[in-house]
Amino acid sequence: MDLDTLIAIEEIKQLKARYFRLMDKKMWDEWGQVFTRSANLRFGPNPGDVFEGRERIVEGLRQILADSVTVHHGHMPEIEITSPTTATGTWAMFDFVQMPDLILKGYGHYEEQYVKVDGKWQISDLRLTRLRVDTTTT
């Protein structure tokens, strides 16, 4: 593996770390910058469980998580650089979401596509698939 590929992989890891940190801290304006303007975020099994475009992604998650405390972890990334400006990645994930009436613990994967825009990697497509969900009412 050449140095440029290793650098790109590390930059994508840093991008994903910002994704998690900024979402959990509810720093929505900064969080939006991890996505391309035309990004898609798919978060459930139903066809309607999708936000299209950076603005809709940010507003949708801001509303969904307004009264929640979240902790997100991504592990064991499998990142493939497909060109100097494109890449794909799969991350094992865990999320803890404490809502007013419910606590959710999810286990699964993020499947993502990345694009390098103006020298910075951004997420252009994100699909969250949960393999297991444990819920508790509060």
> Does residue 116 fall inside a structural domain?
yes
> Does residue 137 fall inside a structural domain?
no
> Does residue 138 fall inside a structural domain?
no
> Does residue 37 fall inside a structural domain?
yes
Q: What is the pTM of this model?
A: 0.95
Q: Compute the distance between CA of residue 67 and CA of residue 103 in angstroms, rounded to an integer.
A: 12
> Does residue 94 fall inside a structural domain?
yes
Task: Evaluate if residue 48 carries a pLDDT over 90.
Answer: no
Q: What is the pLDDT of residues 61-116, one digit of tens each?
A: 999 999 999 999 999 999 999 999 999 999 999 999 999 999 999 999 999 999 99
Containing structural domain, residue 117? 3-132
Q: Compute the distance between CA of residue 102 and CA of residue 132 in angstroms, rounded to an integer.
A: 16
pLDDT tier for residue 57 given thresholds of 50, 70 and 90: very high
Task: Evaluate if residue 1 carries a pLDDT over 90.
Answer: no
pLDDT at residue 111, rounded to an integer: 98
The CATH number of the domain holding residue 42 is: 3.10.450.50
> Does residue 7 fall inside a structural domain?
yes
pLDDT tier for residue 45 given thresholds of 50, 70 and 90: confident
The answer to whether the beta carbons of residues 105 and 93 sit under 8 Å apart is no
pLDDT tier for residue 44 given thresholds of 50, 70 and 90: confident
> Does residue 99 fall inside a structural domain?
yes
> What does pLDDT average to over the chain?
96
Number of domains the chain contains: 1
Average of per-residue pLDDT across 51-63: 97
Task: Evaluate if residue 126 carries a pLDDT over 90.
Answer: yes
Nearest to 130 by CA among 13, 49, 52, 11: 49
